Amino acid sequence: MSLKQEIETWVSALGRYDNNEFEDALREFENISDTSKILFNMGVIHATLGEHEKAVECYQRAIRLDSYLAVAYFQQGVSNFLLGDFEEALANFNDTLLYLRGNTMIDYAQLGLLFKLYSFKEKVVEDHNVIDEAIREEAEGYTVFSIPVGVVYRPNEAKVRNLKTKDYLGKARLVAASDRANAFTGFAGSEIKNAGRGVEKDDRPTDNISFAATNLVKPGLQSRRQQSEPPNGRNAFPPTPPPENDKPAAMSRGASVRNGPKPHACEAQHSRFKRPKHKI
C-alpha cells in the first residue's frame, strides 16, 4: 500500500471513529495496522468499548514496534487496572516512568496525539487537583487517569492537504494546429489571417515611385550574409518613409567620409583603383 493510500485509510478510519462507528473504524485501522500509532489507536477504541483485553493486546503490539512509546505503557496500565490485574498495572506504570527518561512531561502533540503525559511528581495542571480529592475520599468512586475520549493519533494536516490533486499547469490549451489541407502548422488564427492577406500592394501614385525602384530592383536577389529573415514578399516596396521633420539630421558628405564606417585593411587594399598604364 502506498503512503497516499495509507493516509487516506487513516483519515477514513478517523472519520468513522469521530462518528462513534467504532467497529467500522477498527476494521479500517486493521488494514494499516503495521505502525505503533495505528495499533495505539486501535487499543484506545477497544478500551472505549470496554474490551480491555483486546486493548492490552494492541498496546503490547505497539510497544513491540516502538519500545520507547511511554504513552502505550501508560494506557496498558490503565486497562490492566480496570481489569483488576493490579500487579501488571503497577509494572506498566513503572515502565511508563522508566521511559519518561527523567522528564516530568512528554508532549505528543508534534507526533499527532494531543496529549501530555506527566510523571506526577508534582501537580502541573488544574486537572491534577483531583489527586487531592481522591486522597481525601480514599479513592472511593475514583478511577485512574487516562487519555480523554476522542484523543487518538491523527496524521499531519499538511500531508492530508497534499492528498488532493493539484493542477499546477492548468488545463491544456490547443495553441497550434494544422489545417485540413496540411498547408501549414502553427497558430491557426494568425495563419488564416495571413493566408487571405496576399501580397501587399503599393498604393502610392506611379509618379511618386522612382525609376530605379520600378526598373532596377531585382526581387530575387538575396545577400549571402543576411542574418535576418527576408521579407515575405520581395515584390512589395518598403513602407513609406516618415516625414522630413521626423527624420534624423542627414550627415553631410564630408562628415560621412570622416566619420563613416571604414573598410577592413584587406578590403581597402582590394578596393583601390589602379591607374591604367599608357604606352608612350
127 within some domain: yes
According to the model, what pLDDT value does residue 199 have?
Answer: 55
Q: Which burial class, exposed, middle or buried, applies to 75 when counting CB atoms under 10 A from its CB (0-12, 13-18, 19+)?
A: buried
- CATH of residue 23's domain is 1.25.40.10
Residue 83, pLDDT above cutoff 60: yes
| pLDDT score at 114 | 94
- Which among 146, 104, 142, 107 is positioned nearest to 123, based on CA atoms? 104
pLDDT in tens, 230-242: 555 555 555 555 5
**Mean pLDDT comparison of 65-74, 111-120, 134-143, highest-scoring range:** 65-74
Which residue in the block uniquely carries the three cell numbers 493539484?
A: 166
> If pLDDT is split at 50, 70 and 90, which confidence band does 145 have?
confident
Domain-located, residue 106 = yes
d(CA 96, CA 77): 9
* Average pLDDT estimate for 244-259: 53
- Residue 262 within a domain: no
Residue 55's pLDDT is what?
96
Residue 44 phi/psi, 5-degree rounding, is -65, -40
The answer to whether residue 98 sits within a structural domain is: yes
Strand-strand pairing, 116-118 and 105-107: antiparallel
CA distance 65 to 100: 17
Q: Examine residue 178 and state whether it is found in any structural domain, yes or no.
A: no
Grid cell for residue 6: 495509507
Does 101 have pLDDT greater than 50? yes
- Summarised one tens digit per residue, pLDDT across range 109-129 is 999 999 999 886 555 666 666
Residue 200: inside a domain:
no
Query: How does pLDDT run across 170-225, given as a tens digit for each residue?
Result: 676 655 555 555 555 555 555 556 665 655 566 667 666 665 556 655 666 555 55
pLDDT class for 102, splitting at 50, 70, 90? Answer: confident
Per-residue cell: 46: 477497544
The residue range of the domain holding 63 is: 3-161
Tell me the average pLDDT across 31-56.
95
Residues 83 and 175: their CA atoms lie apart, in Å, by 72
Domain total in the chain:
1
Work out the percent of the chain whose per-residue pLDDT is above 90. Answer: 35
- The pLDDT value recorded for residue 268 is 46
More confidently predicted of 264 and 106: 106
Q: Is 227 within the bounds of a domain?
A: no
Alpha-carbon span 89 to 209, nearest angstrom: 110
- pLDDT value of position 57: 96
Predicted pLDDT at 257: 47
